[in-house]
Amino acid sequence: MSLLDAATQVRLNAWVPYSRFKVGAAIRATSGKVYVGCNVENVAYPEGTCAEAGAIAAMVAGGDTRIAEIWVIADSPEPVPCCGGCRQKIAEFADADVKVTLCTTDGKQKVMTVAEILPGVFTAAHMDRA
């Protein structure tokens, strides 16, 4: 199954009673394993958790810590960018040149690198003097 197919399939499981905006994400870890996540909302946190964060949590729970590739899909006129929190999480687990493919349900795609989605990323190297 392709990462696009995996993200498309898991998107249908999103729990979005407030926004009704379903997002799916699929990650291929450097081990080759595929992990998926979808967005989840709740009454106390209606903006919810993001699909990318869910896929990263599944990856870590599965024993992997490095991302080789990410695909994200949503029903939107244009490919939806990852939120700021997810961009930082992605940067924690992926090298700057890792591809992030943002997709719409009607076939539009935008391919970016981690460095492009999060320029000026904060890293552990910033704390070298601490």
How do residues 26-42 score in pLDDT, each as one tens digit? 999 999 999 999 999 98
Terminal-to-terminal C-alpha distance of the chain:
45
Average the pLDDT over 80-93 and give the result: 91
Supply the mean pLDDT for the chain: 93
Q: Which residues are catalytic?
A: 52
Average the pLDDT over 3-15 and give the result: 97
Say if residue 82 carries a ligand binding annotation: no
How do residues 97-126 score in pLDDT, each as one tens digit? 999 999 999 999 999 999 999 988 877 888
Say if residue 103 carries a ligand binding annotation: no
Say if residue 42 carries a ligand binding annotation: yes
Say if residue 74 carries a ligand binding annotation: no
In CATH, the number for domain 3-127 is 3.40.140.10
